[in-house]
Every structure is written in structure tokens, then in C-alpha cells.
Amino acid sequence: MTIILDKSANVFTLQSKHSTYQMKVGKLGNLLHTYYGARLSAQDLSYLLFDGENHFAPYPSEFSNRRGSLDILSQEFPTAGTGDLRSLGLLLENADGSRVLDLRFVEVKLLPGKYALESLPAFFAASDDEKVESLEITLRDELSQVEIQLLYAVFEDKDVITRALRVKNLGEQAVRIKKAQSLVLDFHSGDFDLIHFQGRWAMERQFERQALTHSTTSFGSNYGVSGNRQNPGFLLADKATTEDFGDCYGFNLLYSGNWTATAEKSSLGQNRVTLGLGDADFSWQLLPGESFEAPEALLSFSNQGFTGLSHNFHDMVRENLCLSKYSRTARPVLLNNWEATYFDFDGEKLLEIAASAKEIGADLLVLDDGWFGNRFDDNRALGDWHVNEEKLGMSMGELARRVNEAGLKFGIWFEPEMVSEDSDLYRLHPDWTLNFPDRKPLLGRNQLNLDLSKKLVRVYLFEVISKLLDSAEISYLKWDMNRPISDWYSSGLDREHQGELQHRYVLGLYELLSSLTTRYPDVLFEGCASSGARFDLGMLVYQPQIWTSDNTDAVNRLKIQYGTSFFYPLSTMGAHVSAVPNHQTGRETPLETRANVAMAGSYGYELDPTKLTEAEKAQTLVLTERYKDYQELIFSGDYYRLSSPFDSELTAWQIVAKDLSESLLTLVATNAEGNPPFNYLKLKGLDATALYEVEDHKYFGSVLMNAGLRLAQSRADYSSQQIYIRKVDKDG
């Protein structure tokens, strides 16, 4: 069984293929956490809980022996006013102003399959045959009559557990939620490193590893999006954990707005992590009879190092998250005109680009910013979503038709959540924006945020996007968002509900995306928020790929894509070959290197193909066709980080087919030296007993994984090599 309930002892054990997670109801009805780690027999592990006398720690009045402090015991979901002075899972303000919530066990239910959320997207079982079970644990504060349900689902074969929280007000007075974390995980002991992924615009998701010390580390986003400064995916790992060995835990949040996480080590050596909604401004009024759902969290354990953990997350994202048909089928190689033309284009120029794009093997032309209203730069006209036919010299329908006649599909860029101050929409509906009353707004790119918490705004956006998609043969839509949200005030909410705006905005966004992707199932939606500022599980529910970074420099992309790969599969990463010198860094790198790096993702081009020489076009066509040959392997195979761009001058990664029949190895040299040393590289994930062909030579898998390959010496900066490996029989 996946979930084992010992109701006589009130011990609840969740078993995945290689992990065990266990809880127990304590003597006073508090839900305690006993274990999460490598799979064990379903034995009561509560002997691990501290049962000694508590010093300088509050303890329940029911105990006269000064024991039982919840500030020391490992808990499943800690709350305020119970003696636990560490980071909390739920902070709630009662009608009398007190913030105590003393939750005691009520009941436990075993549910078949995957539990469902009513207001938020969630993971799902990929098929009726997938081994998934759910657990619902109800806890209640008898005085306030506030009840919570802790929801768990175990995806047995994927070694993943999902968690969610539902809060219900069964009392007679309103309460206010001030903080809601989707997961809390306690460890009795441990000496961990915290690995998180910090960054900035154009350098997102940078790997950072630091010791978890006797302090509280808090990180998250208050930018209105999941953010480019931090990603909600993070890890705890034993000190000695590497890619291949050691214990590690991964956590992520299925959410696209403000979030917070904490990791702390207490004075007695216990460790705690939390992850969920929020920042200091979050507040949600819960009236009698109402309920509130927090976003779903994802957690996984691996005793096979970071690689095993990444494989667990990758499989979940690929198979159990996105309903788009493109999450399971081949995707077109696109060419985006942005770096080719910026705002300087007309219809004929786009058709020239389309004709040349066809010559290099592209399948789709994407028209980026500048096709609408009075939009000749990024200071105006956002929100005026009517086609500028004078600029194009034709209608959108005609442009799409002529691009189709050139042999390509047609796609378009949109930034629906924004409005320029200099726009007809803003002049007509200034009240549709987020803005503090009687104050001048803060601007980003001279634009403001539309208030997606308002139904009227969402209806307008659905209608205007639908009108465009119905007017032309459009098969792709790039959904952009180019500023953070700062002016958190909605004219549609009263004083008591302003703290709900952040979450209501995200709920509105999800509603809009759900409506559009349902109506247009054949359109490929790609996410973007100043590139990678909203690269999260929530957006991947509706958009199977996200523009990974505005930085298309191949060398910088090594670090960006390396960090992203810890939680997100290559199929989710929009990655393009751009022109040189690169528009972000000025760096010049060989075309093959740019292509090889972009092949670690959903491949495309960000350049003007009309400026390529005939020789360059021929080489580019070869690279495009190579990617198409490998796309299924890249999207569905297991990914291995062989060397890190943060500590090596040779970055290498490998993709291995699930059936071990083939593999793709890619190497990029980032620094050339005189009289360079030989590079030896051990491969991973192959069938040890099988014979593999590598560039006309045959090696057993055990040889490639233990003796390795001797690579060519690096003779130039930024050189790259891609090696295809296939399983053969002994006779070839």
C-alpha cells in the first residue's frame, strides 16, 4: 500500500518507491512529524521524538513534568500560540485580536487517486493506472472553531509527495489569515546545506549553496510574480551530497505570485523548512462558513544525489502538470523577429524573414512587440490591442496567410496584463489599473499593471485575445509581462480586503489562462515575464514552455539553464540561437556552440536570417535538422549534469533515453589555455552490460561510465561538441 494508517496508534505512513514519510498524533492531539527519508518498514518511529524536560521553552499546561514543548518537538503543521516560537505554517488572527490557533486531531481519511483543489491548479494522475493515493487529515481549534485539512498525495513510482492546505471557518465570527504555508517539514537533527537559485534579470536561477546555520534564512518574492531574484524551488542536502551520492530533499510551489520560504536550524539542532504564500502584506478575511485553499507544494527525497531528485521533479512536470497537447508532442522550431528588427518592421520585412527562416528549417515565425496601436517603442500603446494595419501594410489575417504560404506557421506576442500610461485604454479606464489612491503611480517601462482581480478586466482581455486569435491563423502565443507589481491597491476591494489583492490577482490570472487554453487547445502558449521572472510550476500548468531568459548569450545560458534544470525539464525551457555579437553581452561565440546550448531546451532562433551568408544558412539548416532528430530524446530522456559551469571550464551534460537505447552528450569549453590538458569524462545512466557506438567506436556501458571518454583538447574559447551515442549489438 502507498499509504498505511495505523488508527489504533494514530500513526500515518506514506510510502513511495524509495522514500517514507510518517506522522503521529501526540498525547494531546497535536500532529507530530516523525520521519521523512529513505524508505523504511512502516514501524512507529515516534521513539525519535524528544521526550526530555524542556528548558526555557513553554510547554502545555496539561503536562506537570515540564515536558511536551512544541518549540522542541517535530511538528507536521505548527501554529501560533501553542508554544512553538519557530517559523509557523499558519498565522491567523481571531475576532478578539488574538493570534492563537491550537489545532488538535479530528479525523483522517484515505482517498483513492489524487485529491482535487477547488480554486487552484494542481498536479494530477497521468493515467488511471498510475499509483496515486491521497490522505486528508482534519485538525480543529475547538475554541475558535477553525478547522484545517492537510492534504497529501503520494505518487509512488515518481517518489514525489504533494501537499496542500485548506482552512475552514466553522465559527460564528470572521477570522483573518495572515500567513499560510503549504508545507512545513521538520527534521529531528541534521547538518544540512541550503541550495537555492538566486538571480536577476538576464541572469536568472543561479546556483547557490550555503550552510544552514543556527539562524533563520528567509527568501521569496514580493514582486507580484514568482520572481527572477529567487525561484520557489530549493533543496536541503547533506554536506557531502553530490550529483550522484548522498541524501537531499527538494521543495517547490505550484504558484505564480508572491511566496516565501524559510529554512532554519534551532539551538538544539532541529531543522525546519516552510514554503507557501506570501509576504508581510498578505491578509485574507475568512467569514463564517467560508474556506480558503493555499497553493499546492511538491516535495521529494533522493539518496542518489541531486540527479535522482531532478529526475523525480522532471517526470512529474512532464507527465502530471500541463494539459496542453504540446506537453506530449513535438514542438515547432520557431524564429522570433524581436532581435532581428525590434520595433522597426513592416509586413514585407516579416515576409522576407519568413522566407529565409524556411531556408534554415524553422517551422514557425513569431511576430513580437510592435504590431498594434501606436506602438513604435516600449513607452506607449500597451492595451490598445488593435492591429496597426498601416504599419504592417496588411491585415493580420493576410500576414498570417502569406506566412503560411511561405511554409511556416504563424505566432504572435502579447502582454495582456499591462497598460501604458500613454494608451487609449488607460485614458478610457484608469480605474482598471493597480494604483494607490490619490498618488502618482510607480512605473516600469512607462506601464502599469491591469487589475486582474476585477472580473471586468478579465472579460475584456479574454475578448480582445479571442478576437485576435479568431481573426487569423495563429498557432502560437507568447504571453509576456515586463514589470513587477508594486502598487498593491485595487479600487474594486474595500479596506478589509486589500490584503487579499495579491492572491486574487493570481487567481484571476489562472482563470484567464484556463479559459483561453481551453478555448484554443491547438495554440501553443509560451510564458515570459521579462524573460524568466515567472518560471514556475503554476505557469507550466497552462504553458508547456517558458522563455528562460532574455539573455541569449550561450556562455551565460550555461549557468542559467544549469540552475533551471534542477527542478524543470529541458522541454519547459525556451532556448534560442541569437546573432553575434550577442545583444546582451557583446560576446561572439561559434554558431555550433550557440546551437548546442539552445538544444538543451525548446529550440528556436532570435536573429535575422536574411543577414546570414549562404554558408551560414547551410550550416544553420544542418543544426536545425539535427535538433529535430533529437527533440524527442531531449524532451523525454533523463538529464544528467556531468560538470558545472560554476566550477569547471568545461560544461557537460548528457541526456539518456528512458529505455537506455540512446544518449546525447554535449560539451562546451568556456576558457582555452595554452598546451591544454586532456579532458576525461565519465558518462552516466547507460546500460552497463550493453554495447554502445560512439563516433565509430564501440564501448560497453560500464566502460563509458567508469573509464570514460578522452575528449579532444580545447583549442578555442567557447568551442563545443555534441556526441550521439546509440546502443548496438555486438555485431553492430
- Among 362, 263, 282, which residue's Cα sits nearest to residue 595? 362
Task: For residue 264, give every residue at least 6 positions away whose Cβ sits within 8 Å of its Cβ, in sequence order, or none.
Answer: 86, 87, 212, 215, 216, 217, 271, 272, 273
| Cell matching residue 62 | 496539561
- Among 208, 230, 216, which residue's Cα sits nearest to residue 274? 216
- Among 557, 648, 501, 529, which residue's Cα sits nearest to residue 231? 529
Amino acid occupying residue 690? A
Residue 338 CA, chain-centre distance (Å), reads 25
Q: How many helices (H) and strands (E) does the chain have?
A: 13, 37
What is the sign of the dihedral through the CA atoms of 327, 332, 333 and 336?
Answer: negative
Set 84, 141, 536, 553: catalytic member? 536
Rounded Cα distance between 40 and 532, Å, is: 39
Contact 574, 561 (CB under 8 A): no
| Cell matching residue 474 | 495563429
Radius of gyration for the chain, computed over Cα atoms and rounded to the nearest angstrom: 27
Beta strands 709-711 and 697-700, pairing class: unpaired
Reported as type and span, the H/E element at residue 295 is strand 291-302
| Cell matching residue 708 | 570514460
Beta strands 364-367 and 334-336, pairing class: parallel
What are φ and ψ of residue 404, in 5° steps?
A: -60, -40
Contact 352, 610 (CB under 8 A): yes
What are φ and ψ of residue 202, in 5° steps?
A: 75, 0
Measuring CA to CA, how many Å separate 612 from each of 219, 620, 626? 45, 9, 19
Reported as type and span, the H/E element at residue 427 is helix 424-428
| Cell matching residue 119 | 480554486
| Cell matching residue 518 | 481551453
Rounded Cα distance between 552 and 349, Å, is: 23
Concerning whether 536 is annotated as a catalytic residue, the answer is yes
Rounded Cα distance between 154 and 13, Å, is: 11
Rounded Cα distance between 384 and 457, Å, is: 14
| Cell matching residue 469 | 486569435
User: What dihedral angle (degrees, nearest 10) is formed by the CA atoms of 70, 76, 77, 78?
Assistant: 10
Set 191, 616, 625, 632: catalytic member? 616
Query: Which residues are tagged catalytic?
Result: 536, 616
